[in-house]
Structure 1
């Protein structure tokens, strides 16, 4: 009964706003889910005249910085904030998972459209220990492939990035040298390579540079027609990123933490894609503008109930139903 009452209150507030002044929400953060958010926010605004949602795709680091300063209504990050980050934030925040996605190793090698990588090989390429495409270790993963005698150009993010966190979280699990060296984070000290800002620019560099290898979110590879490799998972199988593979990785979480912060890279499961992740919205626990707050709560519930059916069209994996029910209770409890 409480949930129904809350929904009725939110609905009446949104209706009232439609006859009053326009409501504008501002947000900033991750580029990883930007294609999904762009579609969702446009469709929500179209269905709710007078509501405008402005989202700046500036990377998870920027999103965390802006929401903790209180300069946006909500932020977005692929990296769950650490205990220290949450404790030091002037704004008390909660994490709301929205969809699941995948980082893929995108490459530009003439005459080669299909490759396979073991995790340790990927780590050593990004460490600068493997520098040529015809290296014996790459050849071992790819018997029969015509690998050229060509230098590998590593491409990475130059900005604070949740996509980078997912990638380096994975590399830290499959390579002790990576874990004890660059480690994991939204920004790391890259041993080699060239940087691009945002998934969009990394995708562009991979397309432009012969011999390039970079990491981008799956939809950016598909939209830009960039080849991407299969990756050896924890079960020893080479898996190409797909909605099914990401969904199986998510299934490895048997008990979702109360605060939703979890890592699913290198998950167990025969067909789990190993570089998968939830992506999150960072929501202030309390709001100061009642009308904006009503819109935000309605937007979140719309994303969880209606928006999930659109995720697969952009190659994101929808959230499990059990998780959606849990999140809706969290959304309805927001003040």
Structure 2
């Protein structure tokens, strides 16, 4: 219960009233022993927050997570390293086959982490920037090379844009953030983005950095730079971010609430894979969204891994995710994920 000043407490007692109690904390199913995972760097902040909270509640548990990137994490899991892997994109056919061989049975996708992918930028004299999908595609494919290019000026008719050269920063390692960002470009920009999608960066030019933390650090130190990172990284580095929209619709800044609208508008498969829509159907939804998964074996998953992931999927774990700068899962999706975790054996 919150502390109540003595005088106020006396007045309440005289009036026959009592202060409303705070909601009881959600109970945590405490496991014991050790468990470890690896993978997505975009998940690192929320995994650290979950691990800290869980281990405070459950001191007999020891949990570790290595931020190696989605591709490396999935390969390590398939090779038998660790109890779970974090990935910002569902497994492809080859990755699923390898994971199923490791699991000796079905592999499960658990969408636990969600949030916007922000386009963080650093352009002296510019603190607000609006871009359409086609302009974003032209910037990251190298067709637009200076910040006062007519395409950018058209998206920002009242902005004073400098002639500063554009420096694009992309991931150099296999990355689910790259996969999600290029999926968006391929769907929303059409033929303006001829480089397809995938976890490896395929467009020419730009500067590659390994891990989200290095991408955002490169943007922060380079005038004229722009890069794509999970939204909380831009927030921590206090970098401005692009508002995204099309010529006829609203331009929307990345936020957890705007990302939540896009997730709520997505199609959820029976296997809990999320198929995002990139056509701006949901008003004021931010369209560049990352849904990040934990990959586990349906059978043979250690009890501590299951208990920890059940905590993360619970309402308490999702509140921790929000406090760490991520979007909480919509309740309908969260309950399905929680049920899938509890079904692991």
**One fold, TM greater than 0.5?**
yes
Residue 7 of structure 1 corresponds to which residue in structure 2?
none
Query: In the alignment, which of 283, 294, 298 is matched to residue 281 of structure 1?
Result: 294
Query: Matches of 1:223 and 1:186 in 2, distance apart?
Result: 24
Q: 1:42: which partner in 2?
A: 52
Q: Which runs of 4+ in 1 moved over 4 A?
A: none
Task: Report the number of matched residues.
Answer: 313
Partner of 1:209: 222
Question: Which structure: larger Rg?
Answer: 2
Render the CA deviation track for 1:219-245: whole Å, top value 9, x for unaligned. 000000111110015972210011110
Shift of 1:85: 2.2
| TM-score, normalised via structure 1 length | 0.89
Distance 1:176 1:325 in 2: 35
| Cα distance, 1:286 vs structure 2 | 2.0
User: Corresponding residue for 1:113?
Assistant: 127
Q: Report the Cα distance in structure 1 between the residues aligned to 2:170 and 2:109, rounded to whole angstroms.
A: 26
Residues 1-335 of structure 1 aligned to structure 2 (within 5 Å): 14=31, 17=32, 23-89=33-99, 90-91=101-102, 92-177=106-191, 181-232=194-245, 236-253=249-266, 255-264=267-276, 266=278, 267-287=280-300, 293-305=302-314, 306-335=316-345
Task: Give 3-state SS (helix, strand or coil) of 2:274's partner.
Answer: coil
| Superposition deviation, residue 190 in structure 1 | 2.5
Per-residue deviation, 1:127: 0.9
CA RMSD of aligned residues (A): 1.9
| C-alpha spacing 1:279/1:234, structure 2 compared with 1 (3 Å) | farther
Structure 2 residue runs of 5 or longer lacking an equivalent are: 1-27
Which protein has the bigger helix share? 1
State the Cα deviation string for residues 126-152 of structure 1 (Å, max 9, x = none).
111101100011001111211111110
For 1:180-211, what per-residue CA distance to the aligned partner results, in whole angstroms no more than 9, with x for missing partners? x3211111323110011111000000011111
Secondary structure at 1:238 match in 2: coil
d(CA) in 2 for partners of 1:320 and 1:107? 29
Q: How far apart are the structure 1 equivalents of 2:39 and 2:270? A: 23
- The CA distance in 2 between the partners of 1:318 and 1:233, in whole Å, is 26
Shift of 1:281: 0.5
| Alpha-carbon separation, structure 2, partners of 1:115 and 1:86 | 39
| CA gap 1:30/1:178 in 2 versus in 1, 3 angstroms | farther
Q: Please state whether the residue corresponding to 2:304 is helix, strand or coil.
A: helix
Displacement after TM superposition at 1:100 (Å) = 1.3
| Superposition TM-score, scaled by structure 2 size | 0.86
Distance 2:333 2:181 in 1: 24
